[in-house]
Chains A and B, each alone.
Chain A
Amino acid sequence: MENNNDAVAARRQALAQALRQGEPVVVTPSGEVEIKEDAVQAGQTGIQVPDGKLA
């Protein structure tokens, strides 16, 4: 369980960093946001989030 929590925390941290740095991210059909590179490696499909700063 602890390992799972660590993995979740690490994933969130990596995602936060990727978003901050403007790395491409995709959204899967379930609405999960993934780093594009990770999604491609995992064979997941999704829509790439267009460029754009939040208003």
Chain B
Amino acid sequence: MRYKLDRRESRYQTESWPDMAYYWYERDPDLYKAEVQAMRKFFPSFQIYQLQDGSGRLYWRGTVQPTGPNGITWDLMLIYKNDHPQVHSEYDYGGSVQILPVAPRLKDIAAQLPIQPEKGLGLGLPHIYRDNFGRDEEYFICTADPKYFKSGQTHSTSAASALSWACKWIILCEMWMNGEISDEVALEGNY
């Protein structure tokens, strides 16, 4: 069961314990507002929810068709880490917003592809990573090299930016699977 986040509830909690807040959306309500505004502006069909796994993590869910009306419709979850917008290391491939394709599921696609670690395709698909999600391990989209993420006091990478990167990844993935671009071009990641 999912429920829509009540923004008043979140704001109330932030005002109650501003210094003790654990979740980024309580600690920094202005950032939360900016995140919501950006998504409402650029991807109005996406809705925000809270994971029902006790983690308190917020996520957006909606669909995109990066290659246009004739292309595949991707059902995506954009899941904030609780310390959004911090990026901790060069290995934080998805930044502080993890992109999980619900349908098609990357694990299902990868299961049909050859595993070629020597080519950089150790998980079957280019530019993906695995992480725990609930009780399962899932494959997520590597949106951009961590050095491109912003997590400063005035600018940070938003869910909207992460989603735009993800749409670019989807284009690359679909074209690669169709044989329109080579393994080398796909792995190079200049897209």
A interface list, Cβ under 8 A from B: 8, 11-13, 15-16, 19-20, 22, 25-27, 29-33, 46-55
Report yes or no: B144 in contact with A12, Cβ–Cβ below 8 A: no
Closest residue to A34 on the B side, CB-wise? B68
B172 located at the interface, meaning its Cβ lies under 8 Å from any Cβ of chain A in the complex: yes
Contact of A12 among B67, B142, B165 (CB under 8 A): B67
In the complex, A12→B171 CA distance in Å?
Answer: 9
* A–B pairs, 11, beta carbons within 8 Å: A8-B68, A8-B70, A16-B181, A22-B190, A32-B68, A47-B43, A49-B164, A49-B167, A54-B145, A54-B165, A55-B93
Within the assembled complex, what's the spacing in Å between the Cα atoms of A27 and B67? 10
Contact in complex: A54, B175 (CB < 8 Å): no
State the Cβ distance, B64 to closest chain A Cβ, in Å.
2
Give, as a whole number of angstroms, the nearest-CB distance from B34 to chain A: 14
Give the A-binding residues of B (Cβ under 8 A): 38, 42-45, 63-70, 74, 93, 126-127, 129, 142-146, 148, 157, 160-161, 163-165, 167-169, 171-172, 175, 180-181, 185, 189-191
* B167: nearest chain-A partner, CB-CB: A27
- List the A residue with the shortest CB-CB distance to B41: A47
Q: Which of A13, A25, A50 has the most CB of B within 10 A?
A: A50
Whether A54 contacts B167 in the complex (CB less than 8 A), given A30-B65, A33-B66, comes out as no
Which residues from chain B contact A11 at a C-beta distance below 8 Å? 68
Q: Is the CB of A54 within 8 A of B189?
A: yes
Q: What are the residues of chain A within 8 A of B189 when measuring CB–CB?
A: 53-55
* Complex Cα gap A12–B180 (Å): 9
Evaluate contact between B165 and A33: CB separation under 8 angstroms. no
Q: Is A33's CB under 8 angstroms from B167's CB?
A: yes
Question: Given the known A-B contacts A16-B180, A47-B160, are A31 and B65 also in contact in the complex, defined by CB atoms under 8 Å?
Answer: yes
- A19 and B186 alpha carbons, distance in the complex (Å): 11
Which residues of chain B have C-beta atoms less than 8 A from A49's C-beta?
164-165, 167-168
Please, which residues of chain A bring their CB within 8 A of the CB of B45?
29-30
Please pick, from B38, B129, B145, the residue contacting A53 in the complex, using a CB distance under 8 A: B145
Q: Residue of B at shortest CB range from A21?
A: B190
CA distance A55 to B149 in the complex (A): 11
Known: A8-B70, A16-B181. A50 touches B165 (CB 8 A): yes
A2 to chain B, nearest CB (A): 14
